């Protein structure tokens, strides 16, 4: 089978490798759609993400769907949860598998991901897709799960005001989820005009250029009160500062973005005087069934977010396109 492995910065190579052999409890999936995530771009452009560094040629890809070839779902299209928690550590038992200390995660560290023609994965992490959800939609369920988890952390309630800083795919999905949760004044920011336009399409009531004045504009629009909840989805300290400045005293700021230099900083006095609750969002948990229902019933639009598709052989072109922030979502289709 064909496999795309990352050997170093911008060094993604296609290999011929043996077909996977499933371990007990696993099934083989023929991969049909893989979303290129911002964290994949960190690996591609920086040979790592956070404190995890490339130690061997790695198969990227954790947003994926395909057709099960073996096991109880054989012949069915499935979305696949890329996180494999142990189920036994303190954090798993507490109901927080996203904090699992023995976590295996597709396309991260020592664990190869989905940028290949076939993959073996635990059957318990496969979710059959209804007819209304196509394969690219299925790959989009993972980033939607990240947005669901972020909005859960923000405790958005009906009538609240919300700001999303960064209107890439995660920001746009977070915006849609905040609207579904009952947010009424929905601000969105970005530096790219086409993403600002997309934010309007997906439910923002106001979009702002991320030019350093967005926080003051949000304060002016809310009679200096600020928003109830802010979501930082850009992975930039400027966005963190703006989120903190734009949030009301006693409000909540959820940090979703991943900074390239593994550092997040902000003016402590502003956050302290406001008594803000600052939440760090770690991937997701227990979101696939919810995500499937939301997409199947047309409550969240993931399909129109997929703007570019590339075959596995053109993975480098796909990653370069995503790095240039063209369109919204790049999908690789083996």
CA distance 243 to 207: 14
The pLDDT profile of the chain, 334 residues, written as one tens digit per residue, is 999 999 999 999 999 999 999 999 999 999 999 999 999 999 999 999 988 999 999 999 999 999 999 999 999 999 999 999 999 999 999 999 999 999 999 999 999 999 999 999 999 999 999 999 999 999 999 999 999 999 999 999 999 999 999 999 999 999 999 999 999 999 999 999 999 999 999 999 999 999 999 999 999 999 999 999 999 999 999 999 999 999 999 999 999 999 988 999 999 999 999 999 999 999 999 999 999 999 999 999 999 999 999 999 999 999 999 999 999 999 999 9
Name the maximum alpha-carbon separation found in the chain. 62
Among residues 81, 79, 84, 31, which one has the least CA distance to residue 59? 31
Q: What is the CA radius of gyration of the chain?
A: 20
Could you tell me if 323 and 26 are in contact, meaning their C-beta atoms sit under 8 angstroms apart? no
CA distance 186 to 160: 9
Among residues 291, 177, 297, 163, which one has the least CA distance to residue 231? 163
Burial letters 144-178, b for 16+ CB under 10 A, else e: bbbbbbbbbbbebeeebbbbbbbbbbbbbbbbbbb
- Terminal Cα-to-Cα distance of the chain (whole angstroms): 10
Domains (range + CATH), the chain: 2-128+302-333 (3.90.180.10), 145-280 (3.40.50.720)
For 113, list phi and psi in degrees, rounded to 5: -105, -150
The alpha carbon torsion through 166, 171, 172, 178 (nearest 10 deg) reads -120
Predicted pLDDT at 50? 87
CA distance 325 to 168: 8
Predicted pLDDT at 244? 98
Could you tell me if 6 and 46 are in contact, meaning their C-beta atoms sit under 8 angstroms apart? no
Q: Which residues contact 304 (CB under 8 A, 6 or more apart)?
A: 201
Residue 196 CB: number of other CB atoms within 10 A?
18
Predicted pLDDT at 260? 86
**Which two structure tokens, joined as six digits, stand for 255?**
């940090």
Among residues 255, 206, 252, 248, which one has the least CA distance to residue 229? 252
Predicted pLDDT at 305? 98
């Amino acid at each position: 089978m064909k496999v795309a492995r990352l050997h170093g910065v911008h060094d993604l190579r296609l290999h011929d490798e043996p077909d996977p052999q499933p371990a007990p409890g696993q099934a083989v999936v023929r991969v049909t759609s893989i979303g290129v995530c911002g964290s994949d771009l960190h690996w591609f452009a920086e040979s790592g993400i956070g404190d995890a560094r490339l130690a061997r040629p790695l198969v990227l890809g954790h947003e994926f769907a395909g057709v099960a070839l073996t096991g109880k779902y054989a012949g069915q299209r499935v979305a696949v949860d890329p996180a494999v928690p142990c189920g036994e550590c303190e954090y798993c038992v507490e109901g927080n598998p996203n904090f699992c200390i023995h976590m295996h995660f597709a396309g991260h560290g020592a664990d190869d991901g989905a940028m290949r023609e076939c993959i073996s994965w635990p059957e318990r992490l496969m979710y059959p897709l209804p007819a209304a959800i196509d394969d690219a939609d299925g790959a989009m369920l993972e980033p939607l799960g990240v947005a669901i988890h972020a909005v859960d952390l923000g405790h958005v309630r009906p009538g609240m005001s919300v700001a999303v800083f960064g209107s890439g795919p995660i920001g746009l999905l977070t915006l849609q989820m905040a609207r579904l949760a009952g947010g009424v004044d929905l601000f969105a920011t970005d530096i790219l005009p086409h993403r600002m336009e997309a934010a309007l399409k997906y439910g923002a009531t106001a979009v702002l250029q991320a030019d350093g004045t967005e926080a003051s504009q949000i304060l002016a629009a809310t009679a200096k009160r600020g928003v109830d909840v802010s979501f930082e989805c850009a992975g930039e300290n400027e966005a963190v500062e703006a989120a903190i400045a734009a949030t009301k005293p006693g409000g909540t700021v959820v940090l979703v973005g991943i900074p390239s230099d593994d550092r997040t900083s902000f003016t402590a006095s502003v956050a302290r005087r406001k008594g803000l609750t600052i939440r760090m969002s770690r991937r997701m948990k227990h979101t696939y069934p919810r995500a499937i229902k939301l997409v199947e019933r047309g409550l969240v639009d993931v399909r129109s977010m997929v703007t570019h598709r590339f075959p596995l052989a053109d993975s480098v072109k796909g990653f370069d396109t995503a790095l240039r922030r063209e369109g919204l979502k790049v999908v690789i289709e083996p």
